[in-house]
Amino acid sequence: MNVRFSIGSALLAVLALAFGSGCATTTDWVTGQRVRNMYTADEEVKAGAQYFAQNVGELRKENVPVNKDPDRVALVREVTGNIVAVAHNVNLPYQATYVGDPDVVNACAFPGGNLMVYEGLLDKNEGLVRTEGEFAAVVAHEVAHVNCRHSTEALTRQMLPNLLIAGLMIYASVKDIDELQWATAGLMLVHNGLVVTKYSRKDELEADRVGMTYMAKAGYDPAAAPRVWERLAGASDSQAKKALSIISTHPRDYLRAQELRKYLPEAQALYEAAPVKRDGNRNITRSTPGKSGP
């Protein structure tokens, strides 16, 4: 087989795939604008459900309790339901799951609507939120990620450059050009370290902003949202973290709080117009058994 022809065919195939992945467009549910996304809504729901099921399976293999605390499950699903009711797309198969892992201070969303809330998020001493309103801010942020379709849009953005870089690596390897191999490896590091994380930080800020409008429409005072990040900034923001913020997938906590405060007047107007006002000041924390309490 002619090696030159094989390399050329491989590169042409890579370019064709890259071009095809960049041509898929759809309407953004939140902005109404046309955006690049190679996944349909149905594909996104299916992929998200599969990934969610895999994660739940891994948790159960490790004997981590999943939906075993009725009071916490009820709280998580109530707040999630309130937020989902005012989201841009209310027809997704949303499902909120409570994971009884006190060492994980987190909540996350999967494409298509599945959410996970970890016990550590609500711990009295080590958690991130204190009140129902602050918890609503975190849930609304995750629901915003789902509605903005950040996961599949990110995959679409990364597909084209990753395919092109892979094509260069194939060429450099077959031709045994060490300089090009090193240059391509460096290009991948730059792309993943700067370009990908830049878009990720942009997505986080969008989810913060959209999430704050969701919680306001759902009847939670949006002033709780910046408080969450101000608390985290006070607890963890260090010189090292500041120095590394350029290659972080999340913006620095105090910057998130500042951005949220810029949009707070707009969100407050939505809150005042909301048909239902909820008790966002209700304390929902409790000490995790086995951990030191006050």
| Among candidate residues 214, 218, 198, 219, the one with its CA nearest the CA of residue 263 | 214
* Tokens at 174, concatenated: 């077959």
Please report, for the chain, how many H helices and E strands are present, in that order: 10, 5
Task: Answer positive or negative: Cα dihedral of 231, 232, 238, 244.
Answer: negative
The answer to whether residues 93 and 49 touch, using CB atoms and an 8 Å cutoff, is: yes
52-85 CB burial, b ≥16 within 10 A, e <16: beebbeebeeeebebeeeeebbebbbebbebbbe
Q: Catalogue the active-site residues.
A: 142
| Among candidate residues 44, 110, 45, 121, the one with its CA nearest the CA of residue 76 | 121
* Terminal-to-terminal C-alpha distance of the chain: 74
Which SS3 state, helix, strand or coil, does residue 99 take? strand
Cα(75)–Cα(18) distance, integer angstroms: 44
Cα(66)–Cα(118) distance, integer angstroms: 9
Strand blocks (E) in the chain: 25-27, 34-36, 95-99, 107-109, 114-118
